[in-house]
């Protein structure tokens, strides 16, 4: 079992290095996680952390925004205070009060998925968050609009 999990972790490290080089793997004993900075289209930058449990890849990893440690909404309230929210695709906060991003649901997760997919969903969430800050739309509305190819709500009207 240990050899199998070590091989999987090595595979994840290789895939992330190739597809998401901004993320690095950190391992301390049985604790392993990827962490990296992501710049968004509006010039902001965020630090994402993908924590792998001892049961990975059979159980989905947790993903947190670790910097900034507090995220505000369009109206100035604190997003971290919402906990689990469908409108913002968040789960209960993680260690240190870090905002936890919902990426794959437990029922949609299986061992064929990788940390590259998780990181991709995190980056999409960050882009939707920056769009939320500009428009006030919820992250769920933004992601649904992107999925359906709807025009984006603009800041100016012509």
- The answer on pLDDT for 90 being more than 60 is yes
Residue 156 binned pLDDT confidence (cut-offs 50, 70, 90): very low
Q: Indicate the burial class of 66 (C-beta count within 10 angstroms; 0-12, 13-18, 19 or more).
A: middle
Token representation of residue 9: 């972790």
Lowest-pLDDT range of 18-22, 55-59, 134-138: 55-59
Q: What is the DSSP letter of 70?
A: S
Q: Do 131 and 142 contact (CB within 8 A), yes or no? A: yes
Q: Which residue has the higher pLDDT, 157 or 5?
A: 5
Residue 45, CA distances (Å) to 41, 129, 145 in order? 9, 12, 23
- Give the helix ranges, DSSP H, for the chain: 2-19, 115-135, 139-148
Place of tokens 């709807």: 150
Q: What is the rounded radius of gyration, in angstroms, for the C-alpha atoms of the chain?
A: 16
- Taking the model in full, what pTM does it have? 0.90
Please say if the pLDDT value at position 18 is more than 60: yes
**Percent above pLDDT 90 for the chain:** 84
64: tokens are: 């947190």
**Domains, the chain, ordered by start:** 2-148 (3.10.110.10)
Helix (H) or strand (E) holding 39: strand 31-39
Q: Is the pLDDT of residue 157 over 60?
A: no
Q: Could you read off the pLDDT of 126-151 as tens digits, one per residue?
A: 999 999 999 999 999 999 999 887 65
Mean pLDDT of 60-68: 97
Q: Tens digits of per-residue pLDDT, 109-124?
A: 999 999 999 999 999 9
* Residue 28, SS3 per DSSP: strand
Contact 60, 46 (CB under 8 A): no
Is the pLDDT confidence value at 17 over 80?
A: yes
Residue 155: its pLDDT value, please?
Answer: 52
Structure tokens at 85: 């929210």
């Amino acid at each position: 079992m240990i050899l199998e999990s070590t091989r999987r972790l090595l595979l994840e490290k290789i895939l992330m290095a190739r597809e998401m080089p901004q993320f690095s793997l950190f391992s301390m004993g049985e604790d392993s996680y990827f962490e990296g900075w992501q710049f968004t289209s509006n010039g902001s930058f965020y630090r994402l952390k993908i924590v792998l449990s001892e049961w990975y890849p059979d159980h989905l990893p947790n993903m947190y925004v670790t910097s900034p440690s507090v995220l505000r909404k369009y109206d100035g309230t604190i997003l971290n205070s919402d906990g689990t929210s469908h409108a913002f695709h968040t789960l209960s906060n993680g260690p240190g009060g870090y905002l936890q991003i919902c990426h794959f649901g437990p029922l949609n997760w299986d061992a064929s998925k990788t940390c590259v997919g998780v990181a991709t969903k995190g980056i999409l969430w960050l882009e939707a968050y920056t769009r939320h800050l500009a428009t006030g739309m919820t992250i769920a509305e933004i992601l649904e609009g992107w999925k359906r190819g709807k025009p984006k709500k603009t800041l100016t009207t012509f």
